[in-house]
Structures are given as structure tokens and as C-alpha cells.
Amino acid sequence: MKTLKQLERLRKAHKLIQLENTGVPEEFAEKLGISRRQLYNMIEYLKEVDAPLHYNRKTNSFYYSYDFDLLVNVSVQVLVKNELITIYAGNTLLKENFYSARLVHGTNIS
């Protein structure tokens, strides 16, 4: 469930950046419920996916220099054991591997 929480934070961060309502880094991190270091890791990730992210010292807020949209879609589907066996041709998976695989494949960040 840690991944879901991280994706939700990313979605919230994106919305605050769009609204130019992040505040200084300490405030932004607090709004997201993370440390300042984690915030900078998230900012680094956004820049890696080519987000035009900048900081305005006059308004004390992060902002996008042009229209940028980040779609974060999460899909969680519960399957019973028989359905899993059918889908994976009789191969069984450990629960944690299954959930990780479903979260990775059900997540779309573009």
C-alpha cells in the first residue's frame, strides 16, 4: 500500500503545483505529509519526466512554466485463487508479487 500512498501524494503535489499554491519547500512537504528530502526526490522525479517545474521566489510557490498534465491512474483488482490460476496458466504467484505486479501494470504515469 506504500505505492498507492506515494502515487496519491504525487497527484496532490501536481494539483498544488498547477494551482501555484505549494508554499515554500517546508510548507509544501508538510502539505504532502513528507520530509523535505522526500519532497526534493519527488521534484527530481517530476523533472525526469520533463515537467517544466520552477520555483517563484516572489510568490513562494512551485509552478509549471507551461501547461503540463500528469495523469496518475491506479487500478486495483481483487481476484480469487481460481481466477489467478486461469490467468497465469496454472502458475501460482506469491501474494506480494501479485499485488506488486498488478500495481505496476495498473499504474500509468505520463
pLDDT tens for 68-106 read 888 877 666 666 666 655 555 544 444 444 444 444 444
Tabulate helix, strand, coil % of the chain (nearest 5): 50, 10, 40
> Could you state, in order of their start, the residue ranges of all structural domains in the chain?
2-64, 72-109
**What is the domain class of 2-64 according to CATH?**
mainly alpha
| Residue labelled with grid coordinates 494539483 | 15
- The proportion of the chain whose per-residue pLDDT surpasses 90, expressed as a percent, equals 49
Report d(CA 36, CA 21) in Å as an integer.
17
